Structure 1
Amino acid sequence: MALIPSLDEGMFNLSKFIDFDRDKNVFYNNLYIQDCDFVVKIPLSKQKTPPEKVKIEKFNLAKYTYILDYD
């Protein structure tokens, strides 16, 4: 059983938003897959982000405050 099911284009709702981690003092670009309640968190920095810094985690958008959403 896969953690995230196989997805066809247009099969899922994707939201994009920016948030700030006060503990780490880092802004994140977030790609939220609504149907699976998963988020891909990519740190925003001037330097290239190494793959080990990208986070994929179970996420409930309703529990968090974010700075802005965008298309």
Structure 2
Amino acid sequence: MSTDEHIPVLLQPTVDALLHTPDGLYLDCTFGRGGHSRALLEKLSAQGQLVALDRDPQAVRAMGEIKDSR
């Protein structure tokens, strides 16, 4: 593992607590490096949506790495 790899904290418990319906609309206001957002996208249906926000320019660049239209 590289020293700059980001490991999301409490990933699965967070996803389990937040995701009530796979067709829902979810908001990630602290995208960071996208660990939680990526995990949420894996659980969403084709109708589900995720909106992610962050003020950190590095986080905004990391958002561009996700190629998922939801």
Task: Give your verdict on TM over 0.5.
Answer: no
TM-score bracket for the superposition, by shorter chain length: under 0.3
- In terms of Rg, which structure is larger? 1
Q: TM-score, normalised by structure 1?
A: 0.24
